[in-house]
Amino acid sequence: MERNSNGREWEKMKKELNELMTEGRDYAQQLKSQLGSTSSQESREHLAKKILESYHKSLTIMNYSGELDQVSPHSHGTGSPKSDDSDHQEPHIIQSSKKSMPRWTRKVIIAPGVVIDRALDDGFSWRKYGQKDILGAKFPRGYHRCTYRKSKGCEATKQVQRSNEDPMLFEIIYRGIHSCSQASNVGLIIPVQVLEPNQTQEQENLEIGKASLDTGHHNYNHQAHLHQTLNYPLPSTLNLESNNVMLQEKDHNIGFLGSTSYSDANYNFLASYDAGSASHSTSNSPSTIGLESPFENFGPSHPFGGFGGFYS
DNA sequence: TGAATTTGACCCAT
DNA sequence: ATGGGTCAAATTCA
Same domain, A137 and A243: yes
CA atoms of A300 and A122, how far apart (whole Å)? 25
Specify the amino acid at residue A192: V
Give A173's strand partners: A105, A159
CA atoms of A176 and A146, how far apart (whole Å)? 10
pLDDT at A80 over 90: no
Q: In this structure, are residues A265 and A256 in contact, taking their beta carbons and an 8 Å threshold?
A: no
pLDDT for res A15: 66
The answer to whether residue A74 sits within a structural domain is: no
Same domain, A62 and A121: no
Q: What is the pLDDT averaged over residues A109-138? A: 84
Q: State whether residue A239 is helix, strand or coil.
A: coil
Same domain, A175 and A296: yes
Query: Which residues are within 8 A (CB) of A170 and not within 5 positions of it... i.e. 6 or more apart?
Result: A107, A108, A109, A110, A116, A119, A120, A160, A161, A162, A163, A267
The tens digit of pLDDT for each residue in A165-201 reads 888 888 899 988 888 766 555 543 333 222 233 333 3
Q: In this structure, are residues A130 and A120 in contact, taking their beta carbons and an 8 Å threshold?
A: no
Taking alpha carbons only, the member of A253, A216, A246 closest to residue A231 is: A216
Same domain, A251 and A108: yes
User: Which is it for strands A141-146 and A157-162: parallel, antiparallel or unpaired?
Assistant: antiparallel
Same domain, A128 and A248: yes
Same domain, A114 and A211: yes
Taking alpha carbons only, the member of A298, A302, A291 closest to residue A228 is: A291
Same domain, A158 and A64: no
Q: In this structure, are residues A161 and A181 in contact, taking their beta carbons and an 8 Å threshold?
A: no
Q: What is the pLDDT averaged over residues A220-229? A: 33
Chain B bases closer than 7 angstroms to a protein Cβ: 4-9, 13-14
Same domain, A140 and A279: yes
User: Which is it for strands A141-146 and A126-132: parallel, antiparallel or unpaired?
Assistant: antiparallel
The answer to whether residue A97 sits within a structural domain is: no
pLDDT for res A11: 58
Question: How many Å does it take to go from CA A67 to C1' B14?
Answer: 22
Give the structural domain span for A131: 103-307
Q: DSSP class of residue A185?
A: H
Query: Nearest residue to C13 (CA, C1')?
Result: A263
Q: In this structure, are residues A122 and A186 in contact, taking their beta carbons and an 8 Å threshold?
A: yes
The answer to whether residue A217 sits within a structural domain is: yes
Grade residue A142 by pLDDT with cuts at 50, 70 and 90: very high
Q: Of the residues A17, A44, A68, which one is the last residue of a structural domain?
A: A68
Question: How many Å does it take to go from CA A296 to C1' C10?
Answer: 44
Question: How many Å does it take to go from CA A59 to C1' B10?
Answer: 35
Q: Which helix (H) or strand (E) holds A174?
A: strand A169-175
The A 125-154 residues near strand B by Cβ under 7 Å are 125-132, 142, 147
Specify the amino acid at residue A213: L
Question: How many Å does it take to go from CA A200 to C1' C5?
Answer: 38
Evaluate if the CB of A284 falls below 7 Å from strand B: no
The whole-angstrom distance between residue A5's C-alpha and the CA centroid of its chain comes to 29
Judged by C1' against the alpha carbon of A263, the nearest nucleotide is B5
CA atoms of A40 and A144, how far apart (whole Å)? 39
pLDDT at A156 over 60: yes
CA atoms of A52 and A310, how far apart (whole Å)? 14
pLDDT at A312 over 60: no
Q: In this structure, are residues A211 and A239 in contact, taking their beta carbons and an 8 Å threshold?
A: no
The answer to whether residue A274 sits within a structural domain is: yes
Least confident of A11-20, A30-39, A163-172: A11-20
Question: How many Å does it take to go from CA A312 to C1' B9?
Answer: 47
Q: How many helices (H) and strands (E) does chain A have?
A: 7, 6
CA atoms of A160 and A144, how far apart (whole Å)? 8
Same domain, A31 and A149: no
The A 255-284 residues near strand C by Cβ under 7 Å are 263, 278
Q: How many domains does chain A have?
A: 2
